[in-house]
Amino acid sequence: MINDISVIPAWNGRGEKTIKVKVATEKGVFSAYAPSGKSKGKWETAVLPADQVIKNFPDIKKQLIGLDEGDWEKFDSHIEQVCGRNFERCGANFSAALSMAVIRAASGNRVYKLLGGGAAFPYPIGNVAGGGAHMGSTAIQEFLVIPVKAKTITEAIETNFAVWQEAGRVLSRSRHIGRNDEGAWISGTDDVQTLDVVTAAAEAHGARVGLDVAASQLFSKNKYQWASLKKEFNTTEQFEFLKMMIEKYKLVYVEDPFNENDYAAFAELKKSTKCIICGDDLYASQALRIGQGAQHGATNAAVIKMDQAGTVSRAMRAIDACENAQMAHVVSHRSGETCDSFIADFAVGTGAKFIKCGIAGGERTAKLNRLLEIWSETESPAMAGSKF
């Protein structure tokens, strides 16, 4: 039984205040931290500032304790009743952290087992260099590496680190080298120069490259603003430019290539390439939107973020919608993270093909190290089958 719940302040790696939710049962205390995004989609469930969550909590605490943590799905429905269908009364950051803490309590901190995870492990998609809303000079938010040839999670992590280090060596010739919110390199280079560097580093290590364009962030006055290239694209020009990039750099993954309303443009790009086209801001981890996207044939993958979904069960429903639409699901961190490694369990437990959890920085390696730990506890582990 859930005997007590508490909420305390905490900080994420970007220096923002967030929350930690602690759930006490007969078996001990189980907890989770809320992640936070910066390049937020318009369809995302609303979060509340940490101080507001802490202030509101005493009023709802009584309604949340005394239930059985074992039936975590029922508890998630109860969260919806207390917080509102869109978690508007408590914030989706609070509901997500509470839901994650409760399923940890239900599983004795082995969430991946409780979710029935098989032996297939997700490929970690690592953020090598970046810009956009996460700081940096490029319009593209994330230049990503995918260790497509890795046979083990160790090889996958080694490859991602090697590519990140190699790209860092080249980019450090610039006087402006630094790291952004997700530990990805930032330098004075523009989008094309950065993609040249990341692709060369990936090729040297048998890996492939992907992008998170996060195009909603570039969309203003009906045009995509590529400041570092001093260009402004309409939708057709954006399509042509990205298609050229996919072909020239043999990209295997492109996330949010267009604005978050433009199912048709997503569908057009998907039709024209074998590259995985993924929706993040487009869907905001909402089952309903994933279903709509499927009707348009918009993407073949969708990002799932715990705080966009609002509870673990809601995230599961979004994954069900992906499965119905034959989309791969990509479990993802946020740019504002703590060392909470929940998404590693969740990705393995739900059979995700990919996990976006970054490469460098303690809050990123926490997830990678948890993947290694789960790998070591798994009988006959293997990487998820890929069709690269």
CB of 370 to ligand PGA, least distance (A): 19
Measure Cα distances from 333 to 125, 304, 341 in Å. Answer: 11, 9, 9
182 is catalytic: yes
Quick one: 102 or 128, whose CB is closer to ligand PGA?
A: 128
CA 46 to CA 338: how far, in whole Å? 20
Amino acid, single-letter form, for residue 122: P
Active site residue 305: yes
| Residues in contact with ligand PGA, shown as a per-residue x/- string from 316 to 355 under the rule CB under 6 A | ----------------x-xx--------------------
The reply to whether 212 sits near Zn ion by the rule CB under 5 A is yes
Q: Is 307 in the site for Zn ion (CB under 5 A)?
A: no
Count interface residues toward Zn ion (CB under 5 A).
Answer: 3
Closer of 37 and 257 to ligand PGA (Cβ): 37
Q: What residues from 197 to 256 belong to the interface with ligand PGA (CB under 6 A)?
A: 212, 214
Q: Closest separation between CB of residue 133 and ligand PGA, Å?
A: 6
Instruction: Count Cα atoms within 13 angstroms, Cβ side, for 276.
Output: 26
Nearest-angstrom CA–CA distance, 72 and 288: 22
260 binds ligand PGA (CB under 6 A): no
Burial class (CB in 10 A: 0-12, 13-18, 19+), 27: exposed
Given 38, 40, 305, 367, the catalytic residue: 305
The 255-294 site mask, x for binding Zn ion (CB under 5 A), equals x------------------------x--------------
Q: Could you say which of ligand PGA, Zn ion, none residue 335 binds, taking C-beta under 5 to 8 angstroms by partner kind?
A: ligand PGA
Do 106 and 114 form a contact (C-beta atoms < 8 A)? yes
Residues 230 and 159 sit within 8 Å (Cβ to Cβ): no
If the CB atoms of residues 97 and 282 are measured against Zn ion, the closer one turns out to be: 282
Q: Is residue 13 a contact point for ligand PGA (CB under 6 A)?
A: no
174: how many CB neighbours lie within 10 A of its CB?
A: 15
Give the separation between CA 290 and CA 281, rounded to whole angstroms: 11
Q: Report d(CA 32, CA 25) in Å as an integer.
A: 15
Cβ pair 166, 158 in contact under 8 A: no
- Residue 289 interacts, among Zn ion, ligand PGA, none and using kind-specific CB cut-offs from 5 to 8 Å, with none
The catalytically annotated residue of 44, 69, 142, 182 is 182
Q: Of 35, 39, 38, which is closest to residue 91 (Cα–Cα)?
A: 35
Positions touching ligand PGA (CB under 6 A) are 37-40, 133, 141, 212, 214, 280, 332, 334-335
Which amino acids are annotated catalytic? 182, 305
